[in-house]
A = this chain, B = another copy of it.
Amino acid sequence: MVYELYYWPSIQGRGEFVRLALEEAGAKYVDVARGDKGGRDSVSRVLDGATKTPPFAPPVLKAGIIVVSHTANILQFLGPRLNLAPKSEAGRLWTHGLQLTMTDFVKEVHDTHHPIATSLYYEDQKKEALHYTGEFLKSRAPKYLRYFEDVLQRNGGKHLVGRSLTYPDLSLFQIVTGLRYAFPKAMKGLEKDIPLSVALRNAVEKRPRIAAYLASPRRIDFNEYGIFRHYPELDR
């Protein structure tokens, strides 16, 4: 099976959570929009195709005749196939629930720079972004981060689910890494309360396939077009 990932070619964005799972598993996949015949048009074609099941937005994963959209949905589909999810139904539902909490967190991260509308420039909602981000760094980010820290602690400290790596571990790596990029000052304080999450982040970074991926041109750098953006004025 060669998986086809359809996602914007110039950002990590939500697609990165899928890329990390595919890379960790050593899965064969094509990041279609980054290939020779890809580009943004290939993503648009997936959304507008003549199908009874048009996705609303990328990322979209194709696996043979199966088409899956929404990051967390893609990960729950890939999880068992890539050996990155527990086997029991209860375990899979719990794992997916964790990922959906991360989905909500990531949306709130996005809204730090776009609290009013995605159709407006950051500069046109900067005042509101300052207000939103102040509340985000004061209450929402700590609430989410302490929640995942608590889950880690209840589960023995090393992994969010079970006794080995699952896809939410990879996603927590991405979230902590992204928050460091976006809010380096604020994260210095916040990280004091989440030592297990930081240790998991560091352990994921050193896994051979993840380390190779991060050092490769396949890993797109953080930039100010994605979810995690570094605007110094927001980082207080």
Q: Which of A48-107 contact B (CB under 8 A)?
A: 51-57, 65-70, 72-73, 77, 89-90, 93-94, 96-97, 100-101, 104, 107
User: How far, in Å, is A225 (CB) from chain B's closest CB?
Assistant: 20
Q: Quick one: given A101-B70, A120-B135, are A154 and B115 in contact (CB under 8 Å)?
A: no
Residues in B whose Cβ lies below 8 Å from that of A139:
117, 119
User: Interface size for chain A: under 10, 10 to 19, 20 to 34, or 35 or more residues?
Assistant: 35 or more
User: How far, in Å, is A163 (CB) from chain B's closest CB?
Assistant: 12
Q: Quick one: given A52-B154, A101-B56, A135-B120, are A73 and B96 in contact (CB under 8 Å)?
A: yes
> Do residues A117 and B135 form an inter-chain contact, with CB atoms below 8 A?
yes
A40 within 8 A of B: no
User: Main SS of the interface on chain A?
Assistant: helix
CA distance A119 to B140 in the complex (A): 9
Among residues of B, the one whose C-beta sits closest to the C-beta of A72 is B100
CA distance A150 to B54 in the complex (A): 9
Q: Quick one: given A117-B132, A119-B139, are A97 and B66 in contact (CB under 8 Å)?
A: no
- List chain A positions with a Cβ less than 8 A from chain B: 51-57, 65-70, 72-73, 77, 89-90, 93-94, 96-97, 100-101, 104, 107, 111, 115-117, 119-120, 128, 131-132, 135-136, 139-140, 144, 147, 150-151, 154-155
CA distance A46 to B105 in the complex (A): 21
User: How far, in Å, is A87 (CB) from chain B's closest CB?
Assistant: 14
Residues in B whose Cβ lies below 8 Å from that of A144:
56
Given A77-B93, A115-B115, 5 more A-B residue pairs with CB atoms under 8 Å apart are A53-B151, A56-B144, A73-B96, A115-B132, A116-B131
> Do residues A93 and B66 form an inter-chain contact, with CB atoms below 8 A?
yes
> Do residues B94 and A53 form an inter-chain contact, with CB atoms below 8 A?
yes
Pick the 5 closest A-B CB pairs, nearest first. A117-B135, A70-B100, A56-B101, A69-B97, A53-B94
Residues in B whose Cβ lies below 8 Å from that of A52:
154-155
Choice from B57, B66, B136 contacting A90 with Cβ under 8 Å: B66
